A and B are shown apart, each in its own frame.
Chain A
Amino acid sequence: MQAFEYDSDWTELGVYPVKTENDIVRVRQMARQYAKNFRMGIVEQTRITTAVSELLRNMYQYANGGEVTINQGYVEEHNALIFTFEDQGPGIENLDLAMSDGYTSGGGMGYGLPGAKRLVDSFEIRTETNTGTLIRLMKWK
């Protein structure tokens, strides 16, 4: 599985480990804070915070945690807030199924991935069985 590239012009805002439920709360609050600093409106702040929360929970529940890197940078002429989620979990066996509404394997409502995708401007996912999952979200300013 190929890792995501980081453009050298991007600014790294922070790298956060996700190991506990409290980390989920802490990192989603950081996400909101960065969105606020970015002068995003309240609805945009809420969208990004919610999307981040969904992915953090997936990471915590299915992959026993992982790491989130938050960057700011220009992507296709957009000033973007970029969240990269990386875990060494079991990977997603059937990605098409996991990306479809209403599907769940973990007792949730099954809206995690497709729901998060709808809330952001860019959503990329790479996954490999027994290796892990990489997800990158971007929100334009």
Chain B
Amino acid sequence: MDHFQEKKIPIIKIGSYLIVSIQVDMHDKLALQLQSQILEEIEKTGAKGVLIDISVLEMVDSFIGRMLSGMASMASIMDAAVVIVGMQPAVAITLVELGLEMPGVDTALNMERGMELLERRMASINDD
């Protein structure tokens, strides 16, 4: 299983956010590994937000979609918000046609907008 370790997807922490850029076509185990890896990192760092860049992903099937929405709900229980950024138009079209809904998943056009979304969310929480 060392093979999977080598291909681990890096998670970068900047301020109170985690940034993940998925650069490979993930097989299912790698997708599940990434899910738990991100949750562990949230616990370790106390991150308040996670930005997941999928702009390189050429396809999101029901398994990867389920992994992403599952991760958003799990992260939310751990008090962290997940924003999926950079979904390709063709991927968005296919996801809808496939019938896949991703409840509770926030999306943004690109990393910058995703960051703004998280900032606004932080600000509104602090105001309360």
Q: Which residues of A contact B (CB under 8 A)?
A: 21-22, 24-25, 28-29, 32, 42-43, 45-47, 49-50, 53-54, 57, 101, 108-109, 111-112, 114-116, 118-119
Contact A21 B27 (CB under 8 A): yes
A-B contacts at CB below 8 angstroms, number = 74
B123 partner residues in chain A, CB cutoff 8 A: none
Q: Determine if B13 is an interface residue (Cβ-Cβ < 8 Å).
A: no
Q: Determine if B99 is an interface residue (Cβ-Cβ < 8 Å).
A: yes
Chain B contact residues: helix, strand, loop or mixed: helix
Please judge, given known A-B contacts A24-B27, A46-B93, A57-B28, whether A118 and B98 are in contact too, CB under 8 Å: yes
Contact B100 A53 (CB under 8 A): no
Q: Determine if B44 is an interface residue (Cβ-Cβ < 8 Å).
A: no
Contact B100 A49 (CB under 8 A): no
Contact A109 B61 (CB under 8 A): no
Contact B94 A47 (CB under 8 A): yes
For the complex, give the distance between the alpha carbons of A114 and B25 in Å: 24
